[in-house]
Amino acid sequence: MTERSQFLTFHNGAKAPLPFGAEEYEARLAGLRRILAEAGLDAAVLTSMHNIAYYSGFLYCAFGRPYGLVVTPETSVTISAGIDGGQPWRRCHGDNLTYTDWARDNFWRAVRHVAGEGRAVGMEEDHLTLAEAEKLRAFLAPRELRDVARPAMRQRMVKSPAEIALIREGARIADLGGWAIREAIAEGAREIDVAMAGRDAMERAIADAFPEGEYRDSWVWFQSGLNTDGAHNPVTARRLAAGDLLSLNTFPMISGYYTALERTLTLGAPDAATRAIWEANVAAHELGLSLIRPGARCDEITARINAFFAERDLLQYRSFGYGHSFGILSHYYGREAGLELREDVETVLEPGMVVSMEPMLTIPEGRPGAGGYREHDILVVTEDGAENITGFPYGPDHNVIA
């Protein structure tokens, strides 16, 4: 064999069921094509896991290789590596090209085959590295190059009924993981063993609810004692002790869609200082829940909760923003930064948006009530308010483990 293909069509097997129907993906692509038309662009070259999954249903595993989705007014083609065989074809809406390893940069040759040369191209400024952006310019020689990551993010921020149905299932399964964790909490148990109980319960529930899906990335952060001070602190082998402050965090991942449940607990009755801080954070959580509604502005919600904490001399212990959007994201990929409850976000909530309410206070070690306190619910913004789709109870009346 002297001639080796730079890329090829490898339609191995029939198309598999995707997380959503064809009409859902066509509606999303129509939205992206409107973005391209309004910007005077001929094609979009998407490279992020979240946008490729959103517009095609295919969630890639990079392992050091580039992946893409090229969208033109007529076509939608995923670009995948040969190591994946026919799985990208089976698991995407639209067509697929497989690039080979026989020569460096065959990925960009496949992209050029679909997108063409000398055209006006949209790309993701917040994902494409400097090195890969240079290759895009070298191979496609675009007459114009513009960012489409921000308008694509704005499109993703408003969920379709089908997305909300999937997110609702995710919230239900997150609660199941929470109950499994609660059952596993005991003096002497290791964080890792408690976390595995929650993860295993969620993965079984996902497989039962989505028997034709692909399963990956569900995880649990279960933290105790000093390890509660950060929201994203990894699990350890620390053994639980009487009097510990605990943090339960479940994250079922369904076809790239993230949901979460986060709760403060204690192993045994909390002391007075711990209970007072916990109750203050619960009160802030309930205030925040009451503020989520259409027409509310993210920064204004943030200001209200800030004022609540400031009145109690607790604002200096706030750890991060009070909530964020949901959709295709995880700890590996994705972020809808335009829909976060922070001081620098002026987005107005509207029906179809899905946001969390998750205030957190961190009291430094050595002070009364030391540790991290966090409650997290998921809300779907409706025409006249918001629906809380998280069911696991919160607060010291429910989450003191005897």
Confidence (pTM): 0.96
* Cα distances (Å, whole numbers) of residue 163 to 21, 95, 159, 328, 353: 11, 23, 6, 10, 10
Establish how many alpha carbons lie within 13 A of residue 228's alpha carbon, considering only the half-sphere containing its beta carbon.
28
Q: Are 397 and 388 in contact (CB under 8 A)?
A: no
- pLDDT for 2 equals 57
Q: Helix (H, G, I), strand (E, B), or coil: what is residue 348?
A: strand
State the Cα–Cα distance between residues 51 and 49, nearest whole angstrom: 6
Q: Copy the structure tokens of residue 296.
A: 């509310």
Query: Could you identify the residue written with the tokens 């969920």?
Result: 159
Q: Report how far residue 126's alpha carbon sits from residue 148's, in angstroms, rounded to the nearest whole number.
A: 10
**Vertex 388: Cα angle to 383 and 394 (nearest 5):** 155
Alpha-carbon separation of residue 359 from 167, 263, 371, 393 (angstroms): 21, 11, 14, 16
One pLDDT digit (tens) per residue for the chain, 402 residues: 457 899 999 999 999 999 999 999 999 999 999 999 999 999 999 999 999 999 999 999 999 999 999 999 999 999 999 999 999 999 999 999 999 999 999 999 999 999 999 999 999 999 999 999 999 999 999 999 999 999 999 999 999 999 999 999 999 999 999 999 999 999 999 999 999 999 999 999 999 999 999 999 999 999 999 999 999 999 999 999 999 999 999 999 999 999 999 999 999 999 999 999 999 999 999 999 999 999 999 999 999 999 999 999 999 999 999 999 999 999 889 889 999 999 999 999 999 999 999 999 999 999 999 999 999 999 999 999 999 999 999 999 999 999
- Which positions ≥6 away from 5 have C-beta within 8 Å? 100, 102
Q: Out of 11, 127, 232, 376, pick the active-site residue.
A: 232
CA quadruple 228, 234, 240, 241: dihedral sign = negative
> Distance between CA atoms of 355 and 350, rounded to whole angstroms?
11
The per-residue pLDDT for 380 is 98
Q: What token pair was written down for 188? A: 């002497």
Distance between CA atoms of residues 63 and 87, nearest Å: 15
CA distances from residue 230 to 111, 156, 245, 362, 395 in whole angstroms, order as listed:
41, 28, 13, 8, 19
How many other C-beta atoms are found inside a 10 Å radius of the C-beta of residue 89?
24
Distance CA 124, CA 101 (A): 24
| 3-state percent breakdown (helix, strand, coil) of the chain, nearest 5 | 35, 20, 40
- For residues 356 and 323, give the distance between their C-alpha atoms in angstroms, rounded to a whole number: 5
For residue 55, give the 3-state DSSP assignment.
helix
Q: What is the distance between the alpha carbons of residues 121 and 139, in angstroms, rounded to a whole number? A: 12
Rounded to 5°, the CA angle 369-371-375 comes to: 100
285 a catalytic residue: no
Inter-residue contact 182 to 240 (CB < 8 Å):
no
User: How far is the C-alpha of 326 from the C-alpha of 328, rounded, in Å?
Assistant: 7
